[in-house]
Chain A
Amino acid sequence: MPLARLIPCLDVSKGRVVKGVSFVGLRDVGDPVELAKFYSDGGADELVFLDISATPDNESTMTSVVARVADVLEIPFTVGGGVRSVHDAARIIEAGADRVSLNSAALAEPTLITMIAERYGSQAVVVAIDAGDGVVHTHGGRVATSTATIPWAVEAAERGAGEILLTSIRCDGQRSGFDLELTSAVRDAVGIPVIASGGAGSAVHVANALRVADAALVASIVHENPLGLRALRDEVERLGIKLRQLKEPR
């Protein structure tokens, strides 16, 4: 098995990083490129950018962010939000992203998963699932659908998804730990890797998530203290999780 991964998630709106990033050492805390480089140097294994302002007007803004990030980043990154067609996926991937993340668009049009996977490979397609009370939610977790979580995860994998990004709506933003039961249940049901998301408040939470998932998404816990990413890695390793050994940047 590959090593467990720590993945900071950055929310981007109109080309700027938003939500809870407040810290010293950066000239421009809202610049996705500078922040990406900062996290990459600080020990992120991968990054996720979520375009929360995704509208057709903002397409070119996000595409240029992706290209600028690709030029400075030497770790993989995924872009989600606003990927609604093969055309959108092509635009993002050819600008330099490694993977796209599909959420409600995949639910509305499941063949989209297969079409993108056939063109770019399964490893390029992440299906994001916002789960709560056994069902998939849309609209940032506000609207419950009638689709059951586990069967949907299985279907996404069968259709060609290369990874599931699983967010527990109940735990998201609470900082009281990941939903380990939900994460294990989904991971046991699929043969592709699973990223646990929602609830990271401490190294213990992250370590526990990494015992049942292939990777953990972290947001506020690192955004409040990005310099603490290395300390978080060390702590997670002390708790018995094997992470990659960082090599100093040139």
Chain B
Amino acid sequence: MSDVIIIDYGAGNTRSVRAALSHLGRTSTLSSEPELIAQAELVILPGVGSASSAMEHLHETGAATALHARFASDQPILGICLGMQLALETSEEDGGVECLGLLEGSVRRLDVERVPRLGWAVVEPWGDAFYFAHSYAALSAHCIATSDSICVALRHGSFLGVQFHPEKSAAAGLAFLETCLSPA
């Protein structure tokens, strides 16, 4: 049985997350099956596609309910980019989307000089640069890290979410993923 489940929204590039995990010696399965979500050591909500189509997919497959149950029983979930945003209550994307609501907070369109915000940026207080590609960002009391004053990481209960793409952030990203896979 594979120890990491990457949630499948039905579209987008999930190959890179799987490749990064296999680089760390972990096998992963792409799935939205509630049973697998319940049993996995770690569930990853990846950062591909749009908020509305991803939420639709999570509801249709029963993954949304399974994620709520997993969160309630304190089993780890990692959200990446859109996957982090989906854990909040609502998003402004696609004209307004009701998200999972695991964490209090919302997702707003970025108000910076250039959108999408694309490229490597240092995350504080962690100190390393990670790769970002986003037009929306989280507003939440559960923020634990920032980049250019933008909230880029959330933690609450067993949920950890990051706005950057660890799977695209070279050595810094792999080191981050490794800490997610071996909780202290």
What is the interface of chain A, defined by CB distance below 8 A to chain B?
1-5, 40, 45-46, 67, 70-76, 90, 93-98, 118-123, 162-163, 191-193, 214-215, 244-250
Contact = CB atoms under 8 A, between A and B. Distances in A.
B158 interface: no
Nearest to B169: A74
A96 B49 CA distance: 13
A189 to B, nearest CB: 12
Contact of B15 (A70, A120, A244): A70
B170 interface: yes
B132 interface: yes
Contact of A191 (B11, B115, B119, B167): B115
B119 A247 contact: no
Interface in B64-96: none
Interface string B22-49: 1100000000000000000000000011
A94 B11 contact: yes
Contacts, number: 129
Contacts of A98: 13, 16, 133, 168
B173 A94 contact: no
A74 B119 contact: no
B145 interface: no
Interface string B101-143: 0000000000011111111111000001101111100000000
A7 B171 CA distance: 17
B50 interface: yes
Nearest to A191: B114
Given A119-B49, A121-B133, A249-B171, 19 more contacts: A1-B113, A2-B120, A3-B121, A73-B19, A74-B174, A94-B13, A95-B15, A96-B16, A98-B16, A119-B11, A121-B50, A123-B134, A123-B135, A193-B114, A245-B128, A246-B171, A247-B170, A250-B171, A250-B175
